[in-house]
Structure 1
Amino acid sequence: MKEQTAEADFTHRVRSDEKGKMVRQVLKNRFRFSRRMFRRLKLGRGILLNGEPVYLTSRVRAGDLLRAVLPEEEHVKIDPQPVPLRIVEEDEDLIIIDKQPGIVVHPTKGYREGTLANGLAYHWKQKGEFRPVRPVTRLDKDTSGLIVFAKHAHAHAFLSAQMIRRRYKREYLAVVRGKFPSDEGRIDAPIARSPDHPARRAVVENGAKAVTHYRVIERFSAATVLRLRLETGRTHQIRVHLAHRGHPIIGDEMYGGDSSDFPMNRQALHASYLRLIHPREDAVREWKSRLPPDIEHLIHSLRS
């Protein structure tokens, strides 16, 4: 078979307990391919058994070598630019980045250059890789911390499905104004676009379900350090929920967190922990990120 440019390549040696099963069943059990992925593989003639094209309904024998070659698809080109990246880990399926504050994740109408996506496109170009930029999660411009990008369509679908099924764990650390009253709890308040401002979100009765779990880490006279876990992932969710409870994040001027009396020039919110099931290894992986210097300095000033 003529080699084709692949977005991703998966191989599996058939085990003795898999003999007699259909190709589709073996691949689905091993790699959790979705129906859409199988359609793309079928159309691109990307299913090979011992190096030869094969039907998804074909039966396998122990020792057979199954290969799934996911063909490249058309995508929006991102201009490669040398934006500094803090890469925590990268493999053939995903890349974890520790985002710095002040950087937009993906080009928008107001930010066409200098985004994380531009930096990723440049990073991959330097490696001889040309692929679409697929963020699985997003962070606001002035939020720092861990963010994951999928390197191909299957990884993106696999990781996105985890978020829907709530098997994807994200934790944040925030410093909010005032003394938070309870030590831990759950904020369950629906979120929608603000009727007063197109860029803002607000707690609205008929909005989308939004749930945030919190735990107090440290209290001060004028502020509280919180650890937060997202159960859902609405735009500005943590920022909206904390402002709704009367404790906006310090530095978050959009939601009332004025920082004029604190040493902070952006929202004190950091994505500190990420846990997911790896799309190829089918194993739980986790990553942690230390607090950036500006939030460390803020907490130190509150202690002194």
Structure 2
Amino acid sequence: MQKLDILFENEAFVAVNKPAGLLSIPDREGKEQSIRSLLREKYGNIFTVHRLDRDTSGVILFARDEATHKYLSGIFENREVEKIYQGLVQGTLPQKQGSIDLPIMEHPVKPGVMVINKHGKASLTDYEVLEELGLYSLVQFRIHTGRTHQIRVHMQSMGHSIVCDETYGDARPVFISAIKRNYKLSRTEEQERPILSRLALHSYLLHFTDAAGTAHTLEAPLPKDMRALLAQLKKWAH
């Protein structure tokens, strides 16, 4: 059984630092492990409040009783939760900060793929460039709405997709040889292994007030794979 990184727990809810590659909730077949199924083994009753894409890492929240579920779902719906993400995007953004206010809907023919469309649901993302790193930029996002794939679709609309995005970008893994000049394989390697091969998006922080009036700031540090890539980019990106 996979061990979960519990960031915070009390009688009402539990926050987990989700690893990339693990589902938030079971898929239709229900064969794969998910955060929810693992939490159910540990706590019994668990209720889904929101989701993260399979390849997105970071803070995710689950309720432990129905009343908390109703309350937390309500504050998410009413935009009373501050949701901060960090991600690596392709290229250099023309402005260091801004807002993307473009409606999103599901693609009429491709299930599970979202598109910008005037008939879609209102979607608002604020962004701020934290660091420019040659081919890539580290960007912080605050989403005011919780549309499926919101950050990914909004960044694609700007022409700066999230790194390694299979659906809205070029999906290419990141290799050191693309960053470091005169890169040579070590003697033990037959071929170069990518330094990052999953969606470079991380749910960094959730800030909200619980039903008892207590404020919570739940943070998950950037995962090891993204930190390793950032370290290499800072070293070699000029």
Q: Is 1:85–2:4 an aligned residue pair?
A: yes
Report the CA distance between 1:195 and its aligned residue: 2.8
Q: Does 1:143 align with 2:75?
A: no
Question: Is residue 164–residue 174 contact of structure 2 (8 Å, CA) maintained in 1?
Answer: no
Say if 2:195 is the partner of 1:195.
Answer: no
Partner of 2:25: 106
Q: Where does 1:235-254 land on structure 2 (aligned, <5 Å)?
A: 235-254=148-167
Aligned length: 216
Confirm whether residue 228 of structure 1 aligns to residue 141 of structure 2. Answer: yes
Q: 1:294 and 1:110, CA in 2 relative to 1: closer, same or farther beyond 3 A?
A: farther
Please say which structure displays the higher CA radius of gyration.
1
The Cα of 1:105 is off from its aligned counterpart by: 0.9
Letter in 2 for 1:270: H
Of the two structures, which has the highest relative contact order with CA contacts closer than 8 Å and spacing of 6 or more?
2
Match of 1:301 in 2: 232
CA RMSD of aligned residues (A): 1.3
Between the aligned partners of 1:276 and 1:257, the Cα distance in structure 2 is 35
Give CA-to-partner distance per residue, 1:154-197, whole Å, 9 cap, x none.
11111121122221111000000010111111000111111342
Query: What residue identity is the alignment partner of 1:266?
Result: R
For structure 1, list consecutive stretches of 5 or more residues without a partner in the other structure. Answer: 1-81, 125-129
1:76-110 superposed Cα distances (whole Å, 9 cap, x missing partner): xxxxxx33211111111000100011100111125
Q: Does 1:291 align with 2:222?
A: yes
When the two structures are superposed, what TM-score results if normalisation uses the length of structure 2? 0.87
Shift of 1:246: 0.5
How far 1:111 moved relative to its partner? Answer: 4.8
1:255 aligned counterpart, secondary structure:
coil
Contact 1:83/1:116 (<8 A) preserved: no
> After the TM superposition, which parts of structure 1 deviate over 4 Å for at least 4 consecutive aligned residues?
none
Aligned to 2:72: 159
Deviation at 1:236, TM superposition (A): 0.6
Secondary structure in 1 matching 2:129 = strand
After superposition, residues 1-304 of structure 1 pair within 5 angstroms as 82-124=1-43, 130-131=44-45, 133-262=46-175, 263-279=195-211, 281-303=212-234, 304=236
Equivalent pair of 1:135/1:150 in contact (CA under 8 Å): yes
